[in-house]
Structure 1
């Protein structure tokens, strides 16, 4: 899919669920976090409310929806600690076609950023372990902005750091919240839903693909 208007110069990738296969692990770690409070977290609730949403907001949502006495920040801090312990042992696995997609974008001369509602440490582990750190010139994570996805702040920051207009870049996302952030920043965004986000509303996407490979086959054909 060609980017209308200005020539395409950069691809801004989401991280969790787009480049790395992490949502199933996040679900299990949230289950572990909430079990002491008597919460039986279901796939349906996680997929509808939590997938693609920053951890801090997840904490707010579960306290509200399950009427918990815990502080949202307390839950978020526990989940963050469990995630860091997991990442210390091993990075999240790549999504199918992720390495090939990054390689192709690099070979096409496109600039690459990772724009995530997750932690910078998670992105660092991906870059350290999978060999494309030198290709990624910009990383914007949840720590870098006051308002994370679905607010556009993270994408606006990436564009500013790269000296680009929204018309010169394209975003790749896997959730409704991520798509909303990209579109609010003025970006064309393609959506590649995961099993967790298949029920999300992707009507604002420029196009929806079943996989990274399906997108690159059309984008670079």
Structure 2
């Protein structure tokens, strides 16, 4: 990355996409505080160090974390119940990522194809969207839909298919984690990385197509039969 610090200073760039695939936590909402409290509770219940859990849990499915720590607890019944409690108990600790609501309102108003593709379960996703009064997408890909979580690209391939888009369609994945960025790229999508949960260096190393601070730097500027036109503002300059 050179000797100088990277800056979010690139001039505006525009691109057209046939559809958008959003990660959830760290991309649409920030539930870091809630998740930390949640895993501390679960860690204590399981007799595991919650700090060790938190070092590897972000962007990964809970069932994959449990497979390593407590295989006997790695069932969808347990995970969905556990995650369903998170928004109910800690809903006041979550906030939307800056710009998320505005962007979602814009694309919904223009009937842009979009979906949420997340490592969370259905109870977790629907719970957070309800608590924060954010729109529910017509299409969802959740943890229990795929055999392997991110960075496996299956979830994003499935998301593109749910939008009815072919593999050659220009689709944008919006992600905050290196595993998710790698999954989107491996699925053949363009990817924008948001620096909300990981360091700039970690996001750069994952090699997304654009890097922005948050969704305030992404605006819808047009919509036509070619697709939705987005403008990337103040993207990261790593040179």
TM-score range relative to shorter protein = 0.7 to 0.9
Kindly indicate which of the two structures has a greater share of residues assigned to helix. 1
Deviation at 1:78, TM superposition (A): 5.6
Q: Which residue of 2 aligns with 1:28?
A: 37
Change in CA separation of 1:131 and 1:22 when aligned onto 2, cut-off 3 Å: closer
Counterparts of 1:108-123 in structure 2, within 5 Å, are 108-123=110-125
Match in the other structure for 1:156: 157
Q: Which residue of 2 aligns with 1:2?
A: 14
Pick closer, same or farther for the CA change 1:147–1:40 going to 2, 3 Å.
Answer: closer
CA RMSD of aligned residues (A): 2.8
Q: What is the CA-CA distance between 1:113 and the residue it aligns to?
A: 0.7
CA displacement at 1:26 relative to structure 2: 1.7
Structure 2 residue 223 is the aligned partner of structure 1 residue 213 = no
Count of residues paired in the alignment = 206
Provide the C-alpha distance between the structure 2 equivalents of 1:57 and 1:80, rounded to a whole number of angstroms.
13
TM-score of the pair, normalised by structure 1: 0.79
Match of 1:11 in 2: 20
Secondary structure, in 3 states, of the residue corresponding to 2:14?
Answer: coil
Match for residue 141 of structure 2? 140
Task: Give the conservation status (yes or no) of the 8 Å contact 1:138–1:162.
Answer: yes
What is aligned with 2:235?
Answer: none
Bigger relative contact order, structure 1 or 2 (CA pairs below 8 A, ≥6 apart): 2
Structure 1's 40 and 76: CA in aligned 2 closer, same or farther, altered over 3 A?
farther
TM-score by length of 2: 0.74
2:60 — aligned with what?
Answer: 53
Range that drifts further, 30-39 or 176-185: 30-39
Deviation at 1:38, TM superposition (A): 4.7
